[in-house]
């Protein structure tokens, strides 16, 4: 199958490209390199043996996107990763987020409609659930008002896709990721955070390698067993594999509804201190951290009910927390060499 991967040189997109290629699919990447590096194409080739086709342009450019789809109307499925994703930045600059994340989506859906391309997989987030009343959280849990413009772009995007699916031949699938961490086992691709990381895992690895001085653990007074907040961390390669299954399900016409959504998590929650413990155990390194106040906007705990994804997609996350933290560390070590 010929699959368009938007944002394919980014963190999750690059891992997904490798898994698609490993499953025999042809990948064409579109990315404007606003948050990734052209060298990732060579890294992908090093792992899979195949350099993906690549076009560099901004998906908010309607003319370029229209032209791209005219030239590539034989694409069978689209996996749309391209978006901005920094929560704090979205609070400071909401219009930048609404423009980038929503205009690009509209342009792609229009291109699909005009060229009869049917299958669209969308990167959504567990952020749409806010702090769920019941855990583990299922796909039927009520969507809560987004805590940030970034989160709001995910909610609005799901609605845009839903409305489009109702009146066109397009089929949509929203994959709601929990907390993707880790890197490919080769340590040839991984996450490349620009500037000071907001997310826990890259902050841990950068602290231990000496780029940051100390990790601040945001709050130890949550109503959790050790007082720190709990998340469902999931290995990025498990996420990537789910996308291969998702797009194959669509192209092979196995969907039960024209718009489906799935949780991509492991179903296990780990506290911040448990992640640190795993990291220290598997790497033998010591992390310098201190407990500080809670971070504004953080929820206490969330983890996924994965039954629907397990049953319907036949997919299950395979890698445990130790594999996640070790692969993240190996990637940090590899980055030092670059």
Please pick, among 150, 177, 222, 270, the residue that the annotation labels catalytic.
150
Count Cα atoms within 13 angstroms, Cβ side, for 257: 9
Residues whose CB is less than 8 angstroms from the CB of residue 266 and which lie 6 or more positions away in sequence, other chains included: 178, 232, 233, 234, 238, 303, 304, 306, 317, 320
Nearer to ligand UD1, 189 or 229 (CB): 229
Q: What DSSP string runs through 64-93?
A: HHHHHHHHTTT--EEEE--S---HHHHHH-
Cβ(139)–Cβ(310) under 8 Å?
no
Nearer to ligand UD1, 77 or 151 (CB): 151
Q: What are the tokens at 243?
A: 């996308």
Distance from CA of residue 282 to its chain's centroid? Answer: 24
169: three-class secondary structure by DSSP: coil
The contact mask relative to ligand UD1 for 87-116 (x = CB under 6 A, - = no) is: x-----------------------------
Site for ligand UD1 (CB under 6 A): which residue of 200, 245, 321, 328?
A: 200
State yes or no: residue 164 binds ligand UD1 (CB under 6 A).
no
Number of residues that bind ligand UD1 (CB under 6 A): 20
State yes or no: residue 334 binds ligand UD1 (CB under 6 A).
no
Nearer to ligand UD1, 127 or 278 (CB): 127
State yes or no: residue 183 binds ligand UD1 (CB under 6 A).
no
Site for ligand UD1 (CB under 6 A): which residue of 32, 100, 152, 179?
A: 179
Binding part of the chain for ligand NAD, among 43-51, 79-87, 112-120, 254-262 by CB under 6 A, reads 79-87
Q: What are the tokens at 42?
A: 């060579």
Site for ligand UD1 (CB under 6 A): which residue of 57, 98, 103, 218?
A: 218
State yes or no: residue 97 binds ligand NAD (CB under 6 A).
no
Look at residues 27, 45, 318 and name the one whose alpha carbon lies nearest to residue 182.
318
Look at residues 30, 21, 25, 24 and name the one whose alpha carbon lies nearest to residue 61.
30
Q: What are the tokens at 139?
A: 């796909």
150 belongs to the catalytic site: yes
Instruction: Return d(Cα 235, Cα 233) in angstroms, integer.
Output: 7
Q: What are the tokens at 94?
A: 């909401």
Shortest separation between residue 284's beta carbon and ligand UD1, angstroms = 22
Residues near ligand UD1 (CB under 6 A) are: 85, 87, 125, 127, 151, 179, 198-200, 203, 215-218, 229, 231, 272, 295, 297-298
Residues near ligand NAD (CB under 6 A) are 7, 9-13, 31-36, 58-60, 81-85, 100, 104, 123, 125, 177, 180
Which positions are catalytic?
150
């Amino acid at each position: 199958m010929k699959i368009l991967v938007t944002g394919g040189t980014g963190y999750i997109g690059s891992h997904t490209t490798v898994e698609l290629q490993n499953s025999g699919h042809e990948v064409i990447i579109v990315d404007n390199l606003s948050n990734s590096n052209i060298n990732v194409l060579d890294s992908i080739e090093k792992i899979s043996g195949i350099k993906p086709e690549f076009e560099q342009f901004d998906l908010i450019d309607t003319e370029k996107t229209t032209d791209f789809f005219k030239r590539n109307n034989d694409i069978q499925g689209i996996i749309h990763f391209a978006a901005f994703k920094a929560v704090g930045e979205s609070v400071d600059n909401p219009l930048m987020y609404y423009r980038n994340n929503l205009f690009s989506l509209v342009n792609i859906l229009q291109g699909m409609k005009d060229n009869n391309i049917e299958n669209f997989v969308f990167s959504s987030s567990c952020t749409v659930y806010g702090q769920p009343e019941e855990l583990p959280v299922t796909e039927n849990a009520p969507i809560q008002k987004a805590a940030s413009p970034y989160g709001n772009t995910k909610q609005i995007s799901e609605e845009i896709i839903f409305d489009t699916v109702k009146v066109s031949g397009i089929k949509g699938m929203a994959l709601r990721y929990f907390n993707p961490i880790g890197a490919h086992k080769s340590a040839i691709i991984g996450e490349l955070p620009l500037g000071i990381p907001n997310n826990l895992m890259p902050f841990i690895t950068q602290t231990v390698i000496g780029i940051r001085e100390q990790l601040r653990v945001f709050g130890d007074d949550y109503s959790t067993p050790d007082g720190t907040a709990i998340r469902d961390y999931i290995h990025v390669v498990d996420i990537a594999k789910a996308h291969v299954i998702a797009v194959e399900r669509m192209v092979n016409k196995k969907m039960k509804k024209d718009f489906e959504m799935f949780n991509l998590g492991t179903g296990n929650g780990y506290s911040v201190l448990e992640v640190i413990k795993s990291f220290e155990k598997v790497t033998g390194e010591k992390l310098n951290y201190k407990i500080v106040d809670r971070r504004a906007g953080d929820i206490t705990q969330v983890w996924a009910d994965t039954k629907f994804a397990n049953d319907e997609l036949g997919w299950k996350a395979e890698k445990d927390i130790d594999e996640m933290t070790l692969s993240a560390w190996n990637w940090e070590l590899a980055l030092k060499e670059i």
